[in-house]
Amino acid sequence: MSLSGRHRIVIIGGGAAGMASAASARRADPHCEIIVIERGAYVSYANCGIPHFISGVVRDIHELVIYTPEYFRKERGIDVRTHSLAQAIDHRIRQVNIVDLAARSTYSLGYDSLILATGARPRMPRNIPADAMNVFTIRNLEDALRLESFISGGAVKNAVIIGGGWIGVLFCEAFTSRGIAACLIEERGQILPGFDREISLLAEREISGKGVTIEKGIEVREFLKDAAGMVHRIDTDRGYIDADLVLVAAGVEPVTELFAEGIPGDSSGAIMTDERMKTSIDGIFACGDCSPAFHLVAQKSVYHPLGTTANRQGRVAGENAAGGHARFPGILGTQALKVYSMEVARTGLSSLEAQAGGFRLLEALTISPSRARYIPGGCSITTKVLFDASTGLLRGAQMWGAQEVTKRIDIFVPIIHNRMTVTQALDLDISYTPQCSPLWDPVLFCLREAKRIFDARR
Amino acid sequence: MSLSGRHRIVIIGGGAAGMASAASARRADPHCEIIVIERGAYVSYANCGIPHFISGVVRDIHELVIYTPEYFRKERGIDVRTHSLAQAIDHRIRQVNIVDLAARSTYSLGYDSLILATGARPRMPRNIPADAMNVFTIRNLEDALRLESFISGGAVKNAVIIGGGWIGVLFCEAFTSRGIAACLIEERGQILPGFDREISLLAEREISGKGVTIEKGIEVREFLKDAAGMVHRIDTDRGYIDADLVLVAAGVEPVTELFAEGIPGDSSGAIMTDERMKTSIDGIFACGDCSPAFHLVAQKSVYHPLGTTANRQGRVAGENAAGGHARFPGILGTQALKVYSMEVARTGLSSLEAQAGGFRLLEALTISPSRARYIPGGCSITTKVLFDASTGLLRGAQMWGAQEVTKRIDIFVPIIHNRMTVTQALDLDISYTPQCSPLWDPVLFCLREAKRIFDARR
């Protein structure tokens, strides 16, 4: 209890999870005291929009700010403290030490409930001179502004992107639309490792077609600096790659150091919680990119940091920190992105994830039209579904196409969530209108193929 | 058993249900004899494409033919007999009398299994001179060719469409795109009666904006003929409406006469079946527009003739006629159409259907963006969900918007099918990518509002 006698909730981190938890705590308890500690200048921003700021689609970075600290203070009664750093926690006396970066002073803050929404930091390649002026990572708006300012300088002809995950892929488009030649480096054998190889190859073909060089299975030996201390060349097992700019997008790792003591983490180091988002320490919750999420198909905790999950976990943590009883039911690993003008999306397990989890799955892969063939303007959609070899339960789905892919993947979400078999799913009363889908929508078309394969095996 | 000793399946009607049943019977039994009796010249055609043939999007009517009778004969071993009319059934000796319209002869045909896929016929307004040269209905390709030929004659300035259901609405666009002024007449108080009033009004505004006159709640007194015997004026309680062409799209009724004796129908007269699509008479199945369908939310049989249902019921009837054990689980009343460039779709119960069924539902209506607001090219989507006032179970959903509406409605299909509550559905791991949806996709946005309303009532 704070001096005021009100229940005090302190939230470390003003990103998606932190601000969702703040808003949710306020809804659950109109009277409690809520303090958000944020290291940067911004809270509540759409960092998924950063590639579109760099590409120029978003002209002003303030378009990415959803709510300002002032809004939270005035309209929601949430005390947002930017430029503030949480330095240490003493959970025995429920107190956090805060550094006020602007005032260059420290103070301690008692709490009744503490929410850790400290997020994640980019994983950096070995030997990279992270302090070089032309090496960038992207986590927040400050990072975006720094990158934009460097590009606006005009000297960038070649950008090298380290990491072929979804952030790396989005930045291919951002760079090419700025007239910068991009080279995407991925040490694994495929880009978009969350997707199966067939889908990943379609993405690769699309990206290459836009003039991006993709180097898979490549080994980086050394980042070479010029006289000005900037990385200008990368030595790899396939030779040198020139770079005026290096963007590191090789995954992230949870930020947990301050809290590591006494709080068990999973194998990724993320802070474990129960389904109420409570850590093992009384009064401390965790949510967002610093914590794992329970995967409903894999039936285990996985580290799968995404904005949607952060938002959902934040809401649960906030409500419970305010005395509520919300639970976070888990994720399906749903993910969607645009690859230039194409859409790619997935939900449930990928083949690799299934293998790692010991699932014995069958798969169906189909290519079918998005609309009735006599309606112009449609496209081909590639669909892959993964289903249990013995029960027929649908376990995963992936799609690729020029349009209406992401919302079609979402049809699979309640199918997989509710543990339907391919046969049951094929019976669903899915809509049909020639201008939006053929009689056999790609979703049903692939399920029919899956059922054929499943029936033939019995 | 036929003379050949093979199991013989006779199918009356070569539309969506009939041909789906033929194909399904063939898959289930490669050796049985399958005979399809079709009155017209075509089988297996996309009659949903007819408005697009009239509008000119589909240039050649043969684009709407999916498979020819020859294809079925040669590739599937299905004996398709066009220009053939089933005249009478004697189910005691399992025999059908057939009129060969081309040869002007009759013959009788024994069967082991009989599938009634006789479809539906347009409901005609009282007093309409149905034989007038310029009065049209649309059920098959012959109807489409007759209408197209009349329009190509060039004398059509004003078309009156009787009936504001989905066919009437589609023909508004077909006519306006041919430069014909259209007037849509609907005796009820709203167009698209399967949708709730708010959604229907949006459709009305869109259609009116394209120059179509809509007359709702109007009473037609008389169809006046000119010297040539054509309808040239319609006398209504609001005055006269000029017409060079009258299209009747006032709903359909099941074609059941030949089989009425001894086969119970529902209140619409449709042929009742069990979930195996078997009628009450041994060896006789029914499917498609001549039979009702079990509505999974209403928990009763309803007459809701649609191509998707016909196809699904046909597959079940065909498999079972060949000795299989398929079942038709039912429908959710899903429906989608384009209204000019807009999309409208629904699934589950409408407010009126809920009222009629004695359901006590609450509703949420939201308008929210289809994409992140900083991404150009998105649109507003209007979403309405209906949910049980005491349990929160989702019972129906309707959507209206310029894009990606129909596949979003399909996300609700497995949600309603699996009897999820609004709270459970809100927990679904729906995809997010700024270029295809905001963090709160319209589906989730409306579910969140529904949960707020539901929670506030407890």
pLDDT tens, position by position, B128-155: 998 999 999 999 999 999 999 999 998 8
pLDDT score for A257 = 83
| pLDDT above 90: residue A450 | yes
- Binned at pLDDT 50, 70 and 90, residue B264 comes out as low
Q: Which tokens sit at A277?
A: 């988002």
> Is residue A143 a contact partner of residue A130, using CB atoms and an 8 Å limit?
no
Question: Torsion angle, CA of A57/A59/A60/A66, rounded to 10 degrees?
Answer: -30
pLDDT of residue B286: 97
Residues from chain A that touch B430, judged by Cβ atoms under 8 A, are: 308, 334, 410, 413
Contacts of B414 (CB under 8 A, 6+ apart): A411, A414, A415, A418, A420, A425, A428
d(CA B283, CA B92): 10
Which residues in chain A have their CB less than 8 angstroms from residue B372's CB? 46, 48-49
CA distance A206 to A208: 6
Task: Tell me what the pLDDT averaged over chain A comes to.
Answer: 95
> Which residues face A364 on adjacent strands?
A385
Query: CA–CA separation, B399 vs B421, rounded Å?
Result: 19
Report CB contact under 8 Å: B410, A338.
no
| pLDDT > 60? residue A4 | yes
Is the pLDDT at B126 greater than 70, yes or no?
A: yes
Which residues of B are less than 8 Å from A432 in CB distance?
48, 306-308, 336
Residue A348 has pLDDT above 50, yes or no: yes
pLDDT single digits (tens) B382-402: 999 999 999 999 999 999 999
- % chain A with pLDDT above 70: 98
Q: Which secondary-structure segment (H or E) carries B363?
A: strand B361-369
| Percent of chain B at pLDDT exceeding 90 | 93
Is there a contact between A47 and A139 (Cβ–Cβ < 8 Å)?
yes
Q: CB distance B312–A375 less than 8 Å?
A: no
Interface test with A, best of B374, B399, B420, B448 (most A CBs within 10 A): B374
Q: Are B207 and B404 in contact (CB under 8 A)?
A: no
Residue with tokens 């939230």: A11
Tell me the nearest-neighbour CA distance from B118 into chain A, angstroms. Answer: 20
Q: Tell me the per-residue pLDDT of A292-338, one tens digit each, with 9 for 90 and over.
A: 999 999 999 999 999 999 999 999 999 999 999 999 999 999 999 99
- Greater model confidence, B44 or A9: A9
User: Which residues of chain B make contact with A333, given a CB cutoff of 8 A?
Assistant: 429
Q: What's the CA gap between B148 and A50, in Å, rounded?
A: 53
CA distance B423 to A455: 35
Q: What's the Cα-to-Cα distance from B176 to each of A123, B200, B212, rounded to whole Å?
A: 59, 20, 8
Residue-wise burial string across A224-255, b where 16 or more C-beta atoms lie within 10 A, e elsewhere: eeeeeebbbbbebeeeebebbbbbbbbebbbb
**B418:A414 CB<8 A:** yes
Residue B299 CA to residue A44 CA, distance in Å, equals 45
| pLDDT tens-digit readout, B158-176 | 999 999 999 999 999 999 9
User: Which of B311, B338, B375 lies at the smallest CB-CB distance from A435?
Assistant: B338
Burial string for A365-375 (b: 16+ CB within 10 Å, else e) reads bbebbbbbebb
The answer to whether residue A1 scores a pLDDT higher than 60 is no
pLDDT of B205-253, one tens digit each?
A: 999 999 999 999 999 999 999 999 999 999 999 999 999 999 999 999 9
Pairwise CA distance, residues B70 & B278, whole Å: 29
Cβ distance of B420 and A418 shorter than 8 Å: yes
Contacts of A24 in chain B (CB under 8 A): none
The span from the CA of A17 to the CA of A44, in Å, is 9
d(CA A108, CA A388): 53
Answer yes or no: is the ipTM higher than 0.85. Answer: yes
Sheet holding B361-369, edge to edge: B335-339, B342-348, B394-401, B380-388, B361-369
Measured distance CA(B279)–CA(B113) in Å, rounded: 11
* Planar angle of CA B160, B40, B79, nearest 5 degrees: 150
Confidence of residue A262 (pLDDT cuts 50, 70, 90): low
**Residue A56, pLDDT above cutoff 50:** yes
Q: Considering only residues A44 and A365, tell me which one the structure prediction assigns the higher pLDDT.
A: A365
pLDDT at B2 over 60: no
Return the pLDDT at B257. 84
What is the tens place of the pLDDT at every residue in B33-52?
A: 999 999 999 998 998 999 99
State the pLDDT at residue A64: 94
Give first-to-last CA distance, chain B, whole Å. 63
